[in-house]
Amino acid sequence: MKGFSTMKTKKAKTPAKTASAPFFRCLCVRAPYAGRIVDGTKTEEYRSTATRIRGRIGIVESGTGTIIGEAELYDCTKVREWEYVWHLRNAKRYRKPRPYTHPFGAVIWVKVPEAANAEA
């Protein structure tokens, strides 16, 4: 066959992965529920999907472009088909909401660089 090489070509080496900045996961919640979570009066968030995420998370008030506080997501339990309860505790409201850039298409979770969430 003319024009085809039978020699195998070597794959180009991919650069080594560098450690990226740590990210802070933020849950998008509509007002007024986001405020109730960070004030500690709402300790359960009902969702149609389960989550394996645990630990400290930010709380984003949907549509504002700000992280208004944080909470600890410590458990997820199934209530019935297509209904799960995400259990929250140790919530705190930030004195000043922290701006972030909302990525296109993000609906439930947003990853924010940890540095952007640092106390101002």
Question: Count of CB atoms within 10 A of residue 8's CB?
Answer: 6
Specify if 38 maps to a domain: yes
Domains in the chain, number: 1
* One-letter amino acid of 96: K
Specify if 108 maps to a domain: yes
Please, which residues have CB within 8 angstroms of residue 108's CB and are 6 or more apart in sequence? Answer: 27, 28, 47, 49
Specify if 17 maps to a domain: no
Nearest Cα to Cα of residue 54 among 78, 40, 71, 69: 71
Specify if 119 maps to a domain: no
Specify if 2 maps to a domain: no
Give the pLDDT score at 56.
96
For residue 102, what are its two tokens? 């909302």
Please, which residues have CB within 8 angstroms of residue 32's CB and are 6 or more apart in sequence? Answer: none
Specify if 8 maps to a domain: no
Specify if 50 maps to a domain: yes
pLDDT by residue for the chain (120 residues), tens only, comes to: 555 555 554 544 444 444 445 778 999 999 999 999 999 999 999 999 999 999 999 999 999 999 999 999 999 999 999 999 999 999 999 999 999 999 899 999 999 987 666 654
Specify if 81 maps to a domain: yes
Range of the structural domain that residue 76 is part of: 23-114
Q: Rounded to two decimals, what is the model's pTM?
A: 0.78
CATH code, 35: 2.30.130.30
In order, the DSSP letters of 14-77 are: PPPPPPPPPEEEEEEE-TTHHHHHHTTS--EEEESS-----EEEEEEETTTTEEEEEEEEEEEE
